[in-house]
Amino acid sequence: MSSSPPIRWVSRQELAWNENAAFEAALDLLEKEPLASLSPEQRLAHLAFHAARSLERDRDAFFASTRAPLLRETLAAFDKLGATSHSSCLRAFLSGDLASSRAPLAPLTPHLRRYIDAFEPSFVRELRPNCTA
């Protein structure tokens, strides 16, 4: 028996008041839901989101603690998002080019936002008004 992947709901009012409501709800999902419970679209964003944060904080710890298969999957996620500086960093590390893996990283947010916008129904849905409210 498989359960459906997690989703976040936003009201029409939230969407009207806050142009970032859907993106913020998607980030909440990426922040809080376990990787194993996610759909393929969500998993890709989750890997990129968490890897980018880890790379910004402590690259050495990220590289030391992340298994090679997950690094390769994360590299594919960065490639799909078009996050070239992140892709280059991981590709350099995986090839043993440690100096190049230290290159500065561009912000991930614009790439992640485009991806989430393109796959928004996989992350966020509009909460329909309650008839009794």
Q: What is the DSSP string of 64-106?
A: HHS-HHHHHHHHHHHHHHT-HHHHHHHHHHHTT-TTGGGS---
Across the strands, what pairs with 10?
A: 126
* Residue ranges in the chain modelled with pLDDT below 50: 1, 133
pLDDT tens per residue, range 60-90: 999 999 999 999 999 999 999 999 999 999 9
Q: Are 45 and 116 a contacting pair, CB within 8 Å?
A: yes
